[in-house]
Structure 1
Amino acid sequence: MQDTRTAGLTQQEVAARVAAGQVNTLPPRSGRTVAQIVRDNVFTRINAILAVLLVIVLATGSWINAAFGLLIIANSAIGIIQELRAKRTLDALAVVGEAQPLVRRAEGTRRLPRDEVVLDDLIELAPGDQVVVDGEVLEADYLEVDESLLTGEADPEPKQAGDPVMSGSFAVAGSGLYRATKVGADAYAAQLAAEASRFTLVHSELQSGINRILRFITWLLIPVGLATIVVQLTLTDMPWRRAVLAMAGALVPMVPEGLVLITSMAFALG
């Protein structure tokens, strides 16, 4: 019988682990799709208010007075561009590179792509090699591992047989052999990258205040708009087109679109 502890996995054992999903396949880097980013930045409260006023003004045929509708494009574009840049950065975030580890199996030792490593694979380490999966050291010959990328510790850590090694670290001296104990999303580096790239909404007092103002203005615009157009139609005998434009002229300044635009630009620059 061959000692699989040092000889490596057979083809049948590798196939069984692949079938069980025990492969070093990394999860997607970020959860936000381009469609979600576009939707969340276009369908906002401020854009909804401006869009309704824009439709009302365009119904009168006055294109010049509808120029404020460009703010919808500006607000949406700023948010979309900055989130797409953040998504590109998060998608490129990788603690583990594309290095091909030297994997020892029953049929021989050869370099394999990182995502072909399976659970319990035996991986050899030499100076400069990156630890691509979490594992347990089986053999160590003056092995030292640099874990600064994970822990911030600048000094290399000496490793002996039985010690754990974490994905994302590097062998800087000696040589060794370790067995893969955690692969794919279970590996430490994958969890670290997933945590760093997870989408979360950051609480901002400024944004919260603006949202409260917009909620109040949303309900205030309806009675003010109705009162304005009734006065224009009944007391001044103004044509309906001019009455609608007068109503829009009274309502648009109530919307703090300049404040929202400046805030979005400040966040984008920040």
Structure 2
Amino acid sequence: MNTTTPLSGLTAAQVTQRVADGRTNDVPDAPVRTTTEIIRANVLTPVNAIIGSLLVLILVAGFASDALFAGVIISNSVIGIFQELKARNTLNALAVLSAPQARVVRDGEVREIPISQVVADDLLALLPGDQIVVDGQILDGLGLEIDESLLTGEADPVEKTAGDEVLSGSFVSAGSGHYQATRIGAEAYAVSLAEEARQFKLADSELRSGVNTILRWLSFIIPPASLLLLLRLLVEEDEASEALRGMVAAAVAMVPDGLVLLTSLSFIVGVIALARRQALAKELATVELLARVDVLCLDKTGTITTGDISYAGLEALGSADPKAALGAMAAADPHPNPTLQAIA
């Protein structure tokens, strides 16, 4: 932060200068896997290469009715493509920020603008229910409390005073105040949090690696074995097409395509079970990684508790009437939240 913005906010000239310098709240699109990349990753696999080659041979020989084994290619690829497209689309829709507008102070006037038009050092006004759209520093506040549960998982509101930092994605639960924008655009906490969730890293699947190792060895064994078998069948059979048909049938039997399909089906069953519990698997092999987890670390109880309010007791305020005291407190707040409005 360069200098503290006065409570009158930035001037029109200062805003124009920051826009010209590119210091706006524009957020570039996060890099995600394209549909082409997802299809290529699920189609161009070792087992598909082997089965696909045999499929071409059987079609060339004119025995299309014997090409049912190609269903493994289609089934395995469709399962992987469907799950990864679903995960990508869900992550693309992930947004920590939901407020379309921001309340800023410029030239001494409060106005609402799209959050993309917020600039560095802008002065933003806060009222109960507002979402903090960029990171910043509190300049003043009156009973200001911030709900950071969306970011930290902590259900209790945090009291904020002048000089305290606020993070984008949190909400004003009570009070009012002003804060100065310090980190905007891709530097804002909410944006970096969403981008981190969208990042894709290929899961280190031991099961998939083992299957690929088997297929890699078979890719060296099947061609010479198939060639020797074809030469023998050419001697025994009257027609070359029948010899080719027999060779392909034998080669297909050597490929563990059923194992590959069964692995994918097992993964998709696990993915469906996770989805029923509101958990998203970025790819099929994620299920295997969860199966290998033996230690689960949690940083706070608020992550696994319900957050329901329970009544502990009532402490009388001397001889004063509790209802009158609560009413006076609620009436004294210039920007009451819904709870205080109900009490008043």
Question: How far apart are 1:26 and its partner, in Å?
Answer: 2.3
Instruction: Return the TM-score normalized by structure 1.
Output: 0.94
Contact 1:167/1:187 (CA < 8 Å) preserved in 2? yes
- 1:67 counterpart residue number: 68
State, as a whole percentage, how many aligned pairs show the same letter. Answer: 49
* Structure 1 residue 268 displacement after superposition: 2.4
Q: Which deviations, in whole Å up to 9, do the C-alpha atoms of 1:39-74 show, x marking residues without a partner?
A: 211111111111100000001111111121222221
- The match for 2:34 is 33
In structure 2, how many angstroms separate the alpha carbons of the residues matched to 1:15 and 1:221? 69
Residue 100 of structure 1 pairs with residue 93 of structure 2: no
**Contact preservation (8 Å) 1:147, 1:157:** yes
What is the CA-CA distance between 1:237 and the residue it aligns to? 4.2
Contact 1:24 1:183 (C-alpha < 8 Å) held by counterparts: yes
The residue aligned with 1:255 is 255
SS at match of 1:128: coil
Q: The residue matched to 1:6 in structure 2 has which SS? A: coil
CA distance in 2, matches of 1:36, 1:212: 23
Shift of 1:240: 0.8
Which range is displaced more, 127-136 or 94-103?
A: 94-103
Give the aligned partner of residue 239 of structure 1: 239
Could you say what secondary structure the match of 1:5 adopts? coil
Counterparts in 2 of 1:264 and 1:30: CA distance versus 1, 3 Å: farther
- 1:267 alignment counterpart: 267
The answer to whether the Cα contact below 8 Å between 1:29 and 1:193 also exists between their aligned partners in 2 is: no
Over residues 169-227 of structure 1, what are the superposed CA-to-partner deviations in whole Å (9 max), with x where a residue is unaligned? 11101001000000111011111111111011111111111111111111111111111
Q: C-alpha offsets along residues 139-194 of structure 1, whole Å, 9 cap, x if unaligned?
A: 11110001111112111111010100000111101001000000111011111111
Counterparts of 1:157-172 in structure 2, within 5 Å, are: 157-172=158-173
Measured after TM superposition, the shift of residue 15 of structure 1 is 2.3
CA deviation after TM superposition for structure 1 residue 265, in Å: 2.0
Change (3 A) 1:55 1:80: same
Q: C-alpha separation between the residues in 1 aligned to 2:24 and 2:264? A: 43
- The one-letter amino acid paired with 1:267 is F
**1:153 is aligned to 2:154:** yes
Given that residues 30 and 199 in structure 1 are in contact (C-alpha distance below 8 angstroms), is that contact kept between their aligned partners in structure 2? no
Runs of 4+ in 1 over 4 A off after TM superposition: none
For the residue of structure 2 that corresponds to 1:7, the secondary structure is: coil
Aligned counterparts of 2:258 and 2:17: Cα–Cα separation in 1: 61
| Structure 1 residue 11 displacement after superposition | 2.3
Letter in 1 for 2:61: T
Query: What do the CA deviations read for 1:89-148 (whole angstroms, capped 9, x no partner)?
Result: 101111111331211111622111111111111111111001110000011111000111
Match of 1:86 in 2: 87
1 CA distance for matches of 2:16 and 2:268?
A: 49
TM-score by length of 2: 0.75
Equivalent pair of 2:145/2:172 in contact (CA under 8 Å): yes
Aligned partner letter, 1:123:
L
Q: Contact 2:5/2:121 (CA < 8 Å) preserved in 1?
A: no
Matched residue SS, 1:200: coil
Q: How many residues align?
A: 267
